[in-house]
Structure 1
Amino acid sequence: MTASNKNLIFTVTHGRTGTTFLTEIFRLFDDTRSLHEPEPNYATVFPLVKEDPERAITFLEKKIDHINGYPEGHYVETSNVFGKGFLIPLLRLGIMPGLLLLNRDFRKTASSLFERGSTPMRTQRGRHFSADPRVPGSLPIHEPESLTDYQLCYWGVLDSYARQIQAASVYDNEGGKYRWLTANDFHDFDNVMEIGGFFGLSVSDREVAEKHHKEIASLHHNPNKVKGRDPEALSFLDEEAEVLNRVAFFDPVFVKKALDSLFLDDDVKKVFR
């Protein structure tokens, strides 16, 4: 049976939420290997996993063996693909990593995805990095093929939020460690130290770590360098409300939780109140 000899910490998020920033932040801690999208890369095999979820088991067995080969005792990986098709298979293998449930304003996240052309089920980047509404286990939505590209990006963000809620429920029942977070939580050094301590991480030289943290926090990590599409002309309220409406026919409980979240714009909430 596959087992890990590391303290594993992974993210469940959509991406465009600050994952590259977190990668650098977790490198502050002692005896910690912190990586973003290393090989073996979830994104490479993700299209095949969506076709056959059993492929996730084979991939994870190789992945864990690879991670076990690192010398550090703690392993952090911030790939946003992990939570979209690999968390549940990993739990089935008997491995329960610590989880960072990372969020950002839904509209800003979806707009960033739209700008870079990362559309679920339609573009190459979207197929490798986003879930697919036609695949079992994804957030159900009526007639996904008729959604606009922006609506599919927005659906992808909601899908990741639904997976976070599912993960939190599983971990509450099984005693796993997780935290709801945003990138802003990592701009305060004391908060970073508290979060790291929660997951079993520490620093031996706090002064050096604080200086390095200040340098990391001053940078803009992984901006959209090439904007393929301009979201300015989009009718956000109408498009987002339609996505929520189509999801509500299948999962009204989730829609209520999305409306109650801090990440959904107030104008959209008013439509549904």
Structure 2
Amino acid sequence: MQSNDTLRKLRDHQLIFAITSGRSGTKLMAHILEKCCDIQAEHEAMPRANFVLRSVQAHPDAAKWWLSSEKLPAIASRLDERPYGDISHLYCKGFIEPILQMGMKPDFIVLTRPAREVASSLYAINCIPKRSPSGQLVLLSPDDPGVLAPDDWQRWDDYQLCYWYAKEIERLQQHYSMTLPAAGCRVFEISMKELTDEAAILQLIRFLKRDPEARFDVATYRDIISVNQNPKAKLSAELRADLSTLDEKEEDVDATLARLARAS
């Protein structure tokens, strides 16, 4: 498919992307949308943006090239008649602006989870911004362009870096919630906890379907939420023993970010 054909097809199709941190229920959301809501939903669809994230952070113009040459043609080749959603935490890390520049106006789901829960989950699987291989692969780093982070971020321990990352995603969620509607995109906010709330899912599907009378398959939904969609290691013994110090660690990060925000 030629590039112009790809863009035309995608501009005419309802696209749905997520703005989220990861470790926030993306896999569960994709399953709910696909199995219960008549939406063609994928979880972190191939080709995956994590393999170009570092290049995009170093060279932001690379995002548009990768989207137009690899990601978007792959999505276009898989579309059926249903709305299409790629539920991934990577779009908010340098890929939203190029998508808008190419004339697409997706719907965005802002999927939230409390920062401590995100940070604890990342820490438990040793996914540390900048410091671990997996953290380098999929997370923003405190020395990436455009993030809100201090020059001396190295003084923070691994948990604090995970917490910083969660707070940075919250900052991006707030930014996009304010700016995307002005760009012609619709935005719906839902929390990870609300993914197991039938009333919240009903509101989500009515938003996505643009139909105030839309329904979803409740029986299948109940089967899906009864199973952990993304099991990972339990909270590490080290972190469990360290829970008493989390308030202090988080207060340090919060105070630093508040100071930077006031100065910006």
Both proteins in one fold, TM over 0.5: yes
Q: 1:40 aligns with which of 36, 40, 47?
A: 47
**Are residues 1:77 and 2:86 paired?**
yes
Write the mapping of 1:253-272 to structure 2, written as runs, cut at 5 A: none
The separation in 1 between residues aligned to 2:96 and 2:170, in whole angstroms, is: 14
TM-score, with normalisation over the residues of structure 1?
0.84
The answer to whether residue 88 in structure 2 is matched with residue 88 in structure 1 is no
8 Å contact kept, 2:125–2:232: yes
Aligned with 1:11: secondary structure? strand
Q: 1:218 to 1:145 in 2, by over 3 A?
A: same
Q: 1:76 to 1:116 in 2, by over 3 A?
A: same
User: C-alpha separation between the residues in 1 aligned to 2:48 and 2:187?
Assistant: 23
Query: Displacement of 1:177 after TM fit?
Result: 0.7
Report the Cα offset of residue 221 of structure 1. Answer: 2.1
SS of equivalent to 2:146: coil
Matched, 1:130 2:127: no
- Determine helix, strand or coil for the equivalent of 1:251: helix
Shift in alpha-carbon separation, 1:68–1:253, aligned structure 2, 3 A: farther
Q: Corresponding residue for 1:236?
A: 246
Distance 1:133 1:43, change over 3 A: same
CA distance in 1, matches of 2:79, 2:97: 26
Deviation at 1:109, TM superposition (A): 1.1
* Aligned residues between the structures: 251
Match of 2:180 among 171, 189, 195: 171
Equivalent of residue 152 in structure 2, options 122, 138, 143: 143
Distance (Å, rounded) in 2 between the aligned partners of 1:180 and 1:190: 14
| Structure 1, unaligned runs of 5 or more | 255-273
Contact 1:116 1:229 in 2 (8 A): no
Instruction: Give the C-alpha shift of residue 94 in structure 1.
Output: 2.1
**Amino acid paired to 1:250:** L
Asked if residue 249 in structure 1 is aligned to residue 259 in structure 2, the reply is yes
Deviations 1:151-183 (A, max 9, x none): 110010011111111111112323421112112
Measure, in 2, the Cα distance between the counterparts of 1:24 and 1:165. Answer: 26
CA contact (8 A) 2:129 2:162 kept: yes
Give the Å deviation of 1:139. 2.1
Aligned residues with identical type, % of pairs: 25
* Letter aligned with residue 14 of structure 1: S
Separation in structure 2 between the aligned mates of residue 65 and residue 155 of structure 1, nearest angstrom:
34
Q: What residue number does 1:114 align with? A: 123
Deviation at 1:122, TM superposition (A): 1.0
- Residue 229 of structure 1: CA displacement? 6.5
- 5 Å-filtered alignment, 1:48-87, equals 48-61=55-68, 62-72=70-80, 73-87=82-96
CA contact (8 A) 1:102 1:183 kept: yes
2: CA distance between counterparts of 1:33 and 1:225?
A: 30
2:18 pairs, out of 11, 14, 20, with: 11
Shift of the 129–201 alpha-carbon distance from structure 1 to 2, 3 Å rule, reads farther
Aligned to 1:196: 205
Displacement of 1:46 in angstroms is 0.6
The amino acid that maps onto 2:185 is G
TM-score by length of 2: 0.87
Q: What code does the residue aligned with 1:216 have?
A: I
Contact conserved, 1:84 with 1:160, CA < 8 A, in 2?
Answer: no
Gaps of 5+ in 2: none
**Runs of 4+ in structure 1 displaced over 4 angstroms?**
204-207, 226-229
Q: Which amino acid aligns with 2:74?
A: H
Instruction: State whether residues 140 and 250 of structure 1, in contact with CA within 8 Å, keep that contact through their aligned partners in structure 2.
Output: yes
Measured after TM superposition, the shift of residue 233 of structure 1 is 3.0
Kindly provide the amino acid, as one letter, of the partner of residue 100 in structure 2.
L
**Alpha-carbon offset, residue 117 of structure 1:** 0.6
Structure 1 match to 2:232: 224
Distance in structure 1 (CA, Å) of the matches to 2:205 and 2:254 = 35
Q: CA deviation at 1:21?
A: 0.7
* AA partner of residue 113 (structure 1): L
